Amino acid sequence: MLAAAVRGLVRAARRAGAGPAAAVQTRLAGGSATETRPTVRPKNEVEQKQLCAFGEYVAEILPKYIQQVQVTCFNELELLIHPDGIIPVLTFLRDHTNAQFKSLADLTAVDVPSRQYRFEIVYNLLSLRFNSRIRVKTYTDELTPIDSAVSVHKAANWYEREVWDMYGVFFANHPDLRRILTDYGFEGHPFRKDFPLSGYVEVRYDDEVKRVVAEPVELSQEFRKFDLNSPWEAFPAYRAPPEPLKIEAGAKKEDAK
Amino acid sequence: MRLAAQSAAVPAVPGGAAQRGYGGGAEEVNGFVCFVQTTGLVGLAVAENPHERLRILYSKILGVLQNIPRDAAYRKYTEQIVNQRYNLVQTETDVQKLQDKLNGGQIEEVIVQAENELSLARKMLQWKPWEPLVEEPPTDQWRWPI
């Protein structure tokens, strides 16, 4: 809906807006004021406006499936849609005269275990006619199948096999969904966040049985997890608002005794 | 609404496709005099009567769009595009000039695009994407950083 789309755009605008520019300028108060942030990419207002306009256009045509539209600060348009709308949205983007995103550049997944629908499927499309890109994102969990994009873009075939192999996301109506990168008897989905870095099995050649055997992994040194967070605040612009203190009704009376 | 500024970034149809492969002269093929030998694109044959084909396709698209509710944005914008192109096809008889005015690549590519738009319109009738949102996402689904 348009409200959701505008919400998303405002959020993006806020994200893309003036960061800690004031801090930089005070530091350079003594020097020349012409070039304040030479290492930061200059904002391309025209492209951002065009992408916003196109995002609103698509959101107006497909309100049934599009939940949010956002434009990142480096001018990338993203459509966030409901999983039922994969095939309609991709077909629209491929066939409509003002869209013509004929090329599927990439199909991946992102695992965020803390969410209810942990996997986020990402489709990157390229329009050769208009020289522009768009990203379409959906969500699913481990057990819910998602419609295969093979009927819309043939290129999705191996990408979906890879997502199935690495994350365990099942694609309905895929012509040939089987493993593509892992070993033949491999169990598990390696790119999930709960799959350990060294895996569960290791393989070695056993001379007695004259073949390769798989055994549980034995590490000579236990896994070292380094805490790489620096003690200083990294993103002052993205501070979470402090939680308001909640005082429960009964507690204070008991303390007063 | 076309991203006109962005389409200008693509040079006017690169490579040999700008010229329609004009051969030594006119050659008779099946009774039609064909001035053009090739489109320059693999698998895309030269269309012998592009105006007629486009006229048929655009009228079919408009016919399919009649079944969509009048206030749907898809119908509004697609009718706008199709009517604009239809008028250009009817007023301009020269193929080369029509290609330039339509600004959508070669005339055969325009025909392919019209066929795609027709199939899309037929599918839109079944999907009905103008209805309100089917389901809201969970609150933290699209929050980033987590």
Q: Do B1 and A57 touch (CB under 8 A)?
A: yes
3.30.1540.10, 3.30.565.10, 3.30.460.80, 3.20.20.450: CATH of A45-179 = 3.30.460.80
Measured between beta carbons, which residues in chain A are less than 8 angstroms from residue B116?
94-95
pLDDT value of residue A252: 52
CA distances from A74 to A12, A122, A208, B7, B63 (A): 10, 18, 59, 19, 41
In this prediction, residue A175 has a pLDDT band, given cuts at 50, 70 and 90, of very high
B119 part of contact set with chain A, CB < 8 Å: yes
Beta carbons within 8 Å of A252's beta carbon, 6+ residues apart = none
* % of chain B residues with pLDDT over 90: 67
Count of other CB atoms within 10 angstroms of residue A131: 13
Measured between beta carbons, which residues in chain B are less than 8 angstroms from residue A9?
none
Dump pLDDT digits (tens) for A10-53: 454 444 444 444 444 444 444 455 667 888 888 899 999 999 99
Measured between beta carbons, which residues in chain A are less than 8 angstroms from residue B81?
97-98
CA distances from B45 to B33, B107, B119 (A): 15, 11, 21
In this prediction, residue B26 has a pLDDT band, given cuts at 50, 70 and 90, of very low
Report the sign of the C-alpha dihedral through residues B12, B13, B16, B17, in that order. Answer: negative
Q: Do A53 and B131 touch (CB under 8 A)?
A: no
B70 part of contact set with chain A, CB < 8 Å: no
pLDDT value of residue A154: 96
Measured between beta carbons, which residues in chain A are less than 8 angstroms from residue B120?
91-92, 95-96
In this prediction, residue A84 has a pLDDT band, given cuts at 50, 70 and 90, of very high
Q: Do B7 and A129 touch (CB under 8 A)?
A: yes
In this prediction, residue B6 has a pLDDT band, given cuts at 50, 70 and 90, of very low
**DSSP codes of every residue in chain B:** ---HHHHTTS-SS-GGGGS--EEEEEEEETTEEEEE---SSTT-PPPS-HHHHHHHHHHHHHHHHTTS-TT-HHHHHHHHHHHHHHHHHHH---HHHHHHHHTSSSHHHHHHHHHHHHHHHHHHHHH-TTSPPS-PPPTTTT-S--
Residue of A nearest to B104 (CA): A129
Q: Tell me whether residue A121 is exposed, middle or buried, using C-beta atoms within 10 angstroms of its C-beta: 0 to 12, 13 to 18, 19 or more.
A: buried
Q: Do B146 and A62 touch (CB under 8 A)?
A: no
CA dist A82 and A80 (Å) reads 7
Q: Do B77 and A57 touch (CB under 8 A)?
A: yes
Question: Residue B17 pLDDT > 70, yes or no?
Answer: no
- Which chain A residues in 27-46 lie under 8 Å from chain B, judged by CB atoms? 46
Q: Do A129 and B104 touch (CB under 8 A)?
A: yes
In this prediction, residue B27 has a pLDDT band, given cuts at 50, 70 and 90, of very low
Measured between beta carbons, which residues in chain B are less than 8 angstroms from residue A53?
1
B141 part of contact set with chain A, CB < 8 Å: yes
* Widest CA span in chain A: 78
Of B5, B77, B129, Cβ closest to residue A64: B129
Peptide bond into B145 cis (omega under 30): yes
* % of chain A residues with pLDDT over 70: 83
Local structure of residue A28 (DSSP, 8 states) = T
pLDDT value of residue B139: 92
Q: Do A96 and B140 touch (CB under 8 A)?
A: no
Residue with the two structure tokens 């005794």: A257
In this prediction, residue B32 has a pLDDT band, given cuts at 50, 70 and 90, of low
Domain boundaries, chain A: 45-179
> Average of pLDDT values for A188-193?
96
In a mutational test of the B interface, the residue from A65, A68, A118, A129 whose CB has the highest number of chain B CBs within 10 Å is A129
Residue with the two structure tokens 């079919």: B60
B145 part of contact set with chain A, CB < 8 Å: yes
> Average of pLDDT values for B103-131?
95
